[in-house]
Amino acid sequence: MLLQKSAKERNPLMNRHSISDTNILLYITFAVFVVMYAAAIIFLGSGFLKPQTFFSILNENAALIILSCGMSIVMISGGIDISVGAVTALVCMSCAVNLDFNGGSVLTAILLALFVGLMFGLVQGFLVAYLEVQPFIVTLAGMFFAKGMTTIVNSTQFNVVHEGFQKLKSTRINIPGMGSYNKLGIVVPAYVEIGVIVAIITVVVLFMVLRWTKLGRNFYAVGGNSQSANMLGINVKRTKFLAHILCGLLAGIGGFVYFLHVGSGSPSHASGAEMNAIASSIIGGTMLTGGVGNIIGTFFGVLSLSTIKNIVSSLGLDEAWWTNITVAAMICLFLLIQSVVLSRKNKNKL
Amino acid sequence: MASFKSASQESAAKRIGSFLAKLVKHQIFIPIAALLILVIFNLIADPSFFAISLDQNSLGNPVFSGYLITILDNASELVILAIGMTLVTAASGGQDISVGSAIAISGSVMLRVLCGTNSRPEVLQAPIIVAFLVCCVVAMLFGAFNGTLVAIFKIQPMVATLILFTAGRSVAAWINKNELPIISDASFGYYGNFIPGIPIPTPIFIAVACMILIALVLKFTNLGLYTQSVGINANSSRLNGIDPALIKFITFVILGLCVAVAGFIKVSRFSTINYSVIAKDIEMDAILAVALGGNALNGGKFNMGASILGAYVIQFLTTTLYKFNVVSSALPAYKAVVVIILVVLSAPIVRDKITETWKKLAPVKIAKEAS
């Protein structure tokens, strides 16, 4: 008892009430988002004050939220998956072809999306977990395979005209009490699309899975130190396999949500989405070295990223390059913060 | 006499057998085998693939043309990048995925210096050598940026270079204010196409010069030894007096130099630049070249010759696919299949399995030979 107490006094990390370094990342993310949004309201006028601006950000980024969740899980378990963007494009294209040319229904399209995502997760997970190939190389190959397959399925962009799908696409869920008045004084209700509901359900479910289930804790254990996880009796290979399957499945779901938002199939869809997903996860406090991360953080990471994009475009710097440069600068900043946090953590260990 | 002859034949056969066994074990076997498969495939499909003819190009100069020349010509940038990528892979155990974007930047800088303020100048605003040197310095600075993130801040190479990968093409567009400068001076095109009077494409010479240079560097400096030791075990290298951070940093700067040369060739080919398309997906090919050369992608020992051969094999594959009318946007799918097969075959677990089964089969074979 005495020994324990002295250990606590010596090492601040063992004290539960002090903020641990990994939580700092989450708080930084949250603070950045709030500060950025507040700055946008103050300097860019009332546009950002409208609730609909916020909901539009959600509508546009529902797919990215889902993709980033998958990415976070893989990153927490110590891997990386850069194929999600290309898989999204492939899912969009196959669903579009299925609906318009092959006489499919919305249900078959959803099943197809899930199937494509799951297959990518299965194959990549098998290669990474059981054959121990570097995840980056495997998913790089997966990305190129998906890119190529998208053009093989159909090489041109086209809009989907399927009736049932159009109905689903234009479904809007109004949020009471959040509407705004337009110039004529008529109330315009604030709305979200179905994709946002799916995204929020995904975030909540995954948060609970990572927090309270054995599988979720295994992801952290394997990512933190796979050798000690192995000694604790955790099946490391199976955990990594499951992480990739989950990520693939989420890429399928995210792909369908993206498809629902844009309503077309194109080889250039979601290009660079994997980079945005990685960036969101990093901004959200997921450590690249594995073992640290939080789905809520990822959620705010996506919001921060899209807020900064909105700010950049409403500042009048709408030449395409500024967005990419600011995003890169943000990734750089958060990587440096992580690096500092990590070196502090290592110092505390010694 | 007859018995002597048969004995010498036997020993020759044995020697060839042991030579083959050694070759199979040797690292360079993988790219050579891949090259042989491609050559045989093309021979069967269409022998005219290997035809080389001496034609006149649009300027009236005699030039060699044919698929083989195209392969050697177009592989030049890839070969140069593979040299730098091999060193980075060996030292840091990761790959630089920003080389395509960095080529866009260095090409953009080059054109900016050559064009000055006017985007379509009648005469060059600066000597080509000055533009090239400026472009080298800029590319090395970006290499140093990646190197700092990897070596000092200890970020995984692929993620550190993700920053430049995301921003690179935007930076390239920004350098030229999103204009597309076109150089009308013919002498600028010599470096990417043909010098009048010489029938062999200039990029081949540049690539060969780079190969000779890196061979000399590896021969007469400790760079190769140090990168390998850092890649194998950074901590013990540090204890032996090698600074791992410095070595990693240097490899990234060298890759920056390679990027500048490759960017120079790329821009010179067309005398203009398209920021979003130039050197697109070349990072994949460069990584693939290193992997195809049988180098460990998580660092350590490397074989430069195998990487260079790997780069040529990839260009061979690309050209073959183009010849069979594969759409350029569908190309990645085929290459991805090749990558997957390669990485699966070179995975340690699979290799162990193969050697195990080989050992199980081998006694049977030896017994058969004895009988």
User: Quick one: closest CA in A to B275, which residue?
Assistant: A321
* Position B336 in a domain: yes
Q: Considering only the beta carbons, identify the residue of B174, B334, B350 that sits closest to A131.
A: B350
Q: Looking at the structure, do residues B367 and B306 belong to the same domain, yes or no?
A: no
Check which CATH number belongs to the domain holding A148 and give it: 1.10.3470
Check which CATH number belongs to the domain holding B211 and give it: 1.10.3470
Say yes or no for a CB contact (<8 Å) between A149 and B343.
Answer: no
Say yes or no for a CB contact (<8 Å) between A278 and B153.
Answer: no
Residue B368: its pLDDT value, please? 63
* Position B55 in a domain: no
The contacts of residue A124 (CB under 8 Å, 6+ apart) are: A81, A83, A135, A138, A139, A142, A244, A248
Residue B170: its pLDDT value, please? 86
* Position B23 in a domain: no
Q: Looking at the structure, do residues B350 and B320 belong to the same domain, yes or no?
A: no
* Position A170 in a domain: yes
Q: How many domains does chain B have?
A: 2
Q: Looking at the structure, do residues B257 and B310 belong to the same domain, yes or no?
A: yes
3-state secondary structure chain A: CHHHHHHHHHCHHHCCCCCCHHHHHHHHHHHHHHHHHHHHHHHHHHHHHCHHHHHHHHHHHHHHHHHHHHHHHHHHCCCCCCCHHHHHHHHHHHHHHHHHCCCCCHHHHHHHHHHHHHHHHHHHHHHHHCCCCCHHHHHHHHHHHHHHHHHHHCCCCEECCCHHHHHHHCCEEEEEEEEEECCCCCEEEEEEEHHHHHHHHHHHHHHHHHHHCHHHHHHHHHHHCHHHHHHCCCCHHHHHHHHHHHHHHHHHHHHHHHHHHHCEECCCCCCCHHHHHHHHHHHCCCCCCCCCCCHHHHHHHHHHHHHHHHHHHHCCCCCHHHHHHHHHHHHHHHHHHHHHHHHHHHHHHC
* Position A18 in a domain: no
Residue A133, amino acid? V
* Position B344 in a domain: yes
Q: Cα distance from B173 to chain A (closest Cα, Å)? A: 7
Q: Cα distance from A320 to chain B (closest Cα, Å)? A: 7
Of A52-61, A317-326, B97-106, where does mean pLDDT reach its minimum?
A317-326
Q: Looking at the structure, do residues B192 and B339 belong to the same domain, yes or no?
A: no
Residue B283: its pLDDT value, please? 86
Q: How many domains does chain A have?
A: 1
- Domain limit, last residue, from B290, B305, B325: B325
Residue A178: its pLDDT value, please? 67
Residue ranges making up the domain that contains B296: 41-46+65-325
Q: What is the pLDDT along chain B (371 residues), one digit of tens a residue?
A: 445 555 566 676 677 767 666 666 677 777 888 888 888 888 888 888 888 888 777 766 778 888 888 899 999 999 999 999 999 999 988 889 899 999 999 999 998 888 877 777 777 888 889 999 999 999 999 999 999 999 988 888 888 888 888 888 888 888 888 788 888 888 888 888 888 878 888 999 999 999 999 999 999 998 889 999 999 988 899 999 899 999 999 999 999 999 999 999 999 988 888 888 888 888 888 988 888 888 877 788 898 999 999 999 999 988 888 888 787 778 888 888 877 887 787 777 777 788 788 878 766 666 666 65
* Position A6 in a domain: no
Q: Looking at the structure, do residues B166 and B94 belong to the same domain, yes or no?
A: yes
Q: Looking at the structure, do residues B257 and B123 belong to the same domain, yes or no?
A: yes
Q: Considering only the beta carbons, identify the residue of B94, B329, B337 that sits closest to A145.
A: B337
Q: Looking at the structure, do residues B349 and B367 belong to the same domain, yes or no?
A: yes
Residue ranges making up the domain that contains A39: 24-344
pLDDT at A325 over 50: yes
* Position A314 in a domain: yes
Residue B7: its pLDDT value, please? 58
pLDDT at A22 over 60: yes
* Position A315 in a domain: yes
Q: Cα distance from A191 to chain B (closest Cα, Å)? A: 32
**Chain B residues 192-251 with CB within 8 Å of chain A:** none
Characterise B142 by phi-psi region: left (phi > 0), alpha (psi -120 to 50), beta (else).
Answer: alpha
If pLDDT is split at 50, 70 and 90, which confidence band does A18 have?
very low
Q: Looking at the structure, do residues B257 and B350 belong to the same domain, yes or no?
A: no
Q: Looking at the structure, do residues B196 and B332 belong to the same domain, yes or no?
A: no
**What is the token pair recorded at B317?**
């594959």
User: Quick one: closest CA in A to B276, which residue?
Assistant: A321
Q: Cα distance from A107 to chain B (closest Cα, Å)? A: 28
* Position B152 in a domain: yes
* Position A316 in a domain: yes
**Chain B residues 157-176 with CB within 8 Å of chain A:** 158-160, 162-167, 169-171, 173-174
Q: Looking at the structure, do residues B238 and B263 belong to the same domain, yes or no?
A: yes
Q: Looking at the structure, do residues B257 and B182 belong to the same domain, yes or no?
A: yes
| ipTM over the 0.90 cut-off | no
**What is the token pair recorded at B259?**
């990027």
* Position A91 in a domain: yes
Q: Looking at the structure, do residues B225 and B346 belong to the same domain, yes or no?
A: no
* Position B57 in a domain: no
pLDDT at A4 over 50: no
